[in-house]
């Protein structure tokens, strides 16, 4: 993709530049769960792998809560996430970041993009989009119905539009790398036919996940993102936003999903027994859980018991011997 970066307010431009410069100096990873319920073992494994990658690189590991979608947040979920990570020995660096504390930053970016014609209002209903995007399968590509219509930003029939990014034509690319050897194929997608124009503000007024995540990766200086393979296609939308802001994306590593052996379906937060509480009920302590998580991706033999710090030393030693 190629587009002239928008003219941003000086303080925001400085934040973006500082973040990209920080990324270049040292490894800086992050774990970014949503406080919508207890972490399941797939989330816990992603946290462990992300922590391992950062510590192997001698870098920092940040913790961010993606809590913008307030109707989905659950009371007590934030504290439960922090307790689970501490119990497993996964310590983070610096303060706890919350996206809800950074709404002003995202809104500033959104306003700058809108003022310069990079956004357009979209009034397509979810039902309409579901119908027309069915042939694309699990990833819905917006067909551009509202792209060339006169921009009407106010409410109509009591409903506000969503705001979409007017993505330029071209390829959306990102690199995948993992010191642990756990990542997917590098990204190389056509912006128009495989990604589409990304929603940056929803019709209900909420700032969209892709906007906030892209801005955070840049301004917090994130150099590498480790997460599940189910988010591989979502990465394209975030990389598109970063490109619009004139900045390259971090490295990514999309690891395998943890699926229910009985159904073959990936785990979700709705399955409370799949989280740490369920593992404790099975009699597993901290070293037992770390061993289970690490063994699931072949880092240690099944049945291993070790702390997160011991796992780090073992993996680091194995890399030296290889």
Residues 199-223: b if buried by 16+ CB within 10 A, e if exposed: bbbbbeeebbbbbbbbbbbbbbbbb
Place of tokens 């462990």: 48
Does 135 have pLDDT greater than 50?
no
- Does pLDDT of 162 surpass 70? yes
Structure confidence at residue 131 (pLDDT): 60
Q: Which range is most confident: 3-7, 215-219, 262-266?
A: 215-219
Does position 132 have pLDDT exceeding 60, yes or no? no
| pLDDT (tens digit per residue) in 245-297 | 999 999 999 998 886 655 556 665 555 447 899 999 999 999 999 999 999 99
SS3 128: helix
Query: Which pLDDT score, from 0 to 100, does residue 257 have?
Result: 86
Q: What pLDDT is recorded for position 274?
A: 73
Check residue 304 and give its pLDDT.
Answer: 97
What is the gyration radius of the CA atoms in the chain, in angstroms? 20
Compute the C-alpha angle 156/103/142, nearest 5°: 50
Residue for token digits 């970063």?
Answer: 242
pLDDT at 100: 97
Asked whether the predicted pLDDT for residue 121 surpasses 70, the reply is: yes
What pLDDT is attached to residue 138?
Answer: 54
**3-class SS string, 26-65:** CCEEEECCCCCCCCEHHHHHHHHHHHHHHHHCCCEEEEEE
pLDDT for residue 322 is more than 60: no
Mean per-residue pLDDT for 176-203?
94
Instruction: Report pLDDT for 75.
Output: 96
Please provide the average confidence, as pLDDT, over all residues in the chain. 91
39-63 mean pLDDT = 96
Averaged over 169-195, what is the pLDDT? 94
d(CA 156, CA 154): 7
* CA–CA gap between residue 322 and residue 318 (Å, rounded): 6
Tokens of 1: 């993709």
**Percent of the chain residues topping a pLDDT of 90:** 81
pLDDT, one tens digit per residue, over 72-102 is: 999 999 999 999 999 999 999 999 999 999 9
Taken in order of first residue, the domains within the chain and their CATH numbers are 10-282 (3.40.50.620)
Identify the pLDDT of residue 320: 57
């Amino acid at each position: 993709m190629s587009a002239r970066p928008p003219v941003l307010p000086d303080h925001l431009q400085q934040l973006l530049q500082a973040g990209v410069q920080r990324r270049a100096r040292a490894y800086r990873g992050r774990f970014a769960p949503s406080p919508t319920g207890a972490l399941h073992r797939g989330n816990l494994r992603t946290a462990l792998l992300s922590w391992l990658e950062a510590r192997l690189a001698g870098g920092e590991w940040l913790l961010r809560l993606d809590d913008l979608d307030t109707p989905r947040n659950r009371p007590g979920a934030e504290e439960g996430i922090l307790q689970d990570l501490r119990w497993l020995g996964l310590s983070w660096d610096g303060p706890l970041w919350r996206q809800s504390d950074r709404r002003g930053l995202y809104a500033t970016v959104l306003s700058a993009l809108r003022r310069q014609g990079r956004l357009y209002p979209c009034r397509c209903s979810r039902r309409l989009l579901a119908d027309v995007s069915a042939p694309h399968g699990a990833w819905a590509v917006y067909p551009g119905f509202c792209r060339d219509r006169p921009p009407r930003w106010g409410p109509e029939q009591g409903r506000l539009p969503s705001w979409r990014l007017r993505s330029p034509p071209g390829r959306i690319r990102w690199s995948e790398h993992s010191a642990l050897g756990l990542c997917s194929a590098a990204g190389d997608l056509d912006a128009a036919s495989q990604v589409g124009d990304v929603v940056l503000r929803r019709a209900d007024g909420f700032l969209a996940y892709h906007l906030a995540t892209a801005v955070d990766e840049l301004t917090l200086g994130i150099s590498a993102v480790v997460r599940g393979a189910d988010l591989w296609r979502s990465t394209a939308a975030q990389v598109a936003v970063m490109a619009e802001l004139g900045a390259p994306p971090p490295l990514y590593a999309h690891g395998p999903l943890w699926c229910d052996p009985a159904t073959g379906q990936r785990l979700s937060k709705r399955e409370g027994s799949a989280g740490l509480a369920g593992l404790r009920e099975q009699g597993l302590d901290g070293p037992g859980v770390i061993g289970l998580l690490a063994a699931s991706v072949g880092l240690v033999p099944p049945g291993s018991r070790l702390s997160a710090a011991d796992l780090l030393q073992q993996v680091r030693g194995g890399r030296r011997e290889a």
